[in-house]
Amino acid sequence: MTDKRRLTILGSTGSVGVSTLDVVARHSEKFEVVALTARYQTEALFEQCLKFRPRIAVMLEPAAAQDLQQRLRQAGLACEVLCGMGALEAVAGLPDVDTVMAAIVGIAGLRPTLAAARAGKKILLANKESLVTAGAILMDAVRASGASLLPIDSEHNAIFQALPRAYAGSPETAGVRRILLTASGGPFRAMPLRQLEEVTPDQACAHPNWVMGRKISVDSATMMNKGLEVIEARWLFNVSPGQIEVVIHPESVIHSLVEYIDGSVIAQLGNPDMRTPIAYALGFPERIAAGVQFLDLARVGALHFEQPDTQRFPCLRLAYEALATGGTAPTVLNAANEVAVASFLSGELGFRQIPALIETVLAGLACGPVASLEDVLAADHAAREHAERWLHAARPASAAGTLRAVRS
């Protein structure tokens, strides 16, 4: 590789964005950062701008953009500051950028990720919600423009590595029987069910293996994260829901597996560190150093596996049901979950009420087909409104118990 790859990093202040910049810093001869974006973390983005000297920085919030502009001006740094969703879409499609890390959390990442796809970029996809809510639209855009899509979730990156290099979306042709997505089980895998009523946000965010943001940490604790990954895998690898199985693997050493019709099972292993899939995608088709600790199997000693308990993790069941329903159902699932998790983190909702809210919203809204981005955004809006109405109605009855749980 002689020419530098020029990067836009969407969501550079989040855990995936920070890990991406760590890998980039180890290979300054290979990569150049053109644009960095964040929602409101001005201080973090300012420090990143000082170190990586992007040409453009984008803040989603206007006040944060003004603050960043002032800081950069005082530091004498020539960096253009832009603001808003339109700016995110613009930097995702910049003509001189060839690679876009899509690491914005939630539905907010959909439009810039789609802009990158339509512009024919190499997309490193950490924003699973783009495929969950608009899988057919995004994949059609990738095919139409000649863009490439490399998964960053450790599970999907592992599957990508375990599939044949020439895999073209036909499991039958490739001899694939099924995909096995591993899940750690999160911090509450063995907690008695009655104790889940008292779980606090800090407990839910204390993942035993991975360092992640608070929203995705809660999703891991409920296993909604795995449910969203099931939907994502359906679109990434063109497999049916019946060909996707979830298995709990507490050590998080095997990141996922592909089973073939001859009985072979190919797995990708490594220490739980997001820099490994990030480095794989950044360097693809080469492999580059990620700065991670190498796996010592003798030290690990043993690997364990178990079936997920849908009584403990009803969000996984809800995700499979939404995938089977199709249309806007996965969008409704995702929107209701985002509202529920935000309410849990703010202390308004109990941990076990998260799936209750999601199931209520799924049951209360009619799901239709997805023919355009507008269909996705309309379903997302309707689901959030329905979830907020449920929260408003439930708040008087549940607030006291929830607050006791949060403070315990």
Q: In this predicted structure, what is the pLDDT of residue 371?
A: 93
* Percentage of the chain modeled with pLDDT above 70: 96
Mean pLDDT of all residues in the chain?
A: 93
Q: Describe the crossing of helices 329-345 and 373-407 by its angle, rounded to 10 degrees.
A: 30
Cα 159 to Cα 379: distance, rounded to the nearest angstrom: 30
Q: In this predicted structure, what is the pLDDT of residue 400?
A: 40
pTM, to two decimals: 0.91
Is pLDDT above 60 for 17?
A: yes
Over residues 34-53, the pLDDT tens digits come to: 999 999 899 999 999 999 99
Is pLDDT above 70 for 211?
A: no
Q: In this predicted structure, what is the pLDDT of residue 208?
A: 75
Over residues 315-339, the pLDDT tens digits come to: 999 999 999 999 999 999 999 999 9
Contact 41, 60 (CB under 8 A): no
* 3-state secondary structure at position 202: helix
Q: What are phi and psi of 83, to 5 degrees?
A: -145, 140
* DSSP H stretches of helix in 284-365: 297-300, 314-325, 329-345, 353-364
Cα 236 to Cα 221: distance, rounded to the nearest angstrom: 24
Map tokens 């009420």 to a residue: 353
* 3-state secondary structure at position 217: helix
Over residues 136-171, the pLDDT tens digits come to: 999 999 999 999 999 999 999 999 999 999 998 999
Is pLDDT above 80 for 88?
A: yes
Taking every pair of C-alpha atoms in the chain, what is the biggest distance, in angstroms? 64
Between CA 325 and CA 332, with CA 327 as vertex, the angle to 5 degrees is: 85
Cα 149 to Cα 166: distance, rounded to the nearest angstrom: 14
Pairing of strands 176-183, 254-260: antiparallel
Q: In what helix (H) or strand (E) does residue 7 lie, and over which residues does it extend? A: strand 5-10
Within 10 A of 2 (CB to CB), how many other CB atoms are there?
5
Within 10 A of 1 (CB to CB), how many other CB atoms are there?
11
Q: In this predicted structure, what is the pLDDT of residue 405?
A: 36
Q: In this predicted structure, what is the pLDDT of residue 38?
A: 96
**Domain boundaries defined on the chain:** 5-151
Classify residue 306 by its DSSP letter.
B
Torsion of CA 271, 277, 282, 288, to 10 degrees: 30
Map tokens 């810039």 to a residue: 112
Tell which phi-psi region holds residue 76, choosing left (phi > 0), alpha (psi between -120 and 50) or beta.
Answer: left
Alpha-carbon torsion 364, 384, 226, 155, what sign?
A: positive
- CA 128 and chain centroid, separation: 4
Pairing of strands 31-38, 56-59: parallel
Q: Describe the crossing of helices 110-118 and 129-145 by its angle, rounded to 10 degrees.
A: 10
Q: In this predicted structure, what is the pLDDT of residue 290?
A: 98
Cα 242 to Cα 326: distance, rounded to the nearest angstrom: 14
Contact 172, 296 (CB under 8 A): no
CATH of domain 5-151: 3.40.50.720
Over residues 356-401, the pLDDT tens digits come to: 999 999 999 999 999 999 999 999 999 999 999 999 887 655 444 4
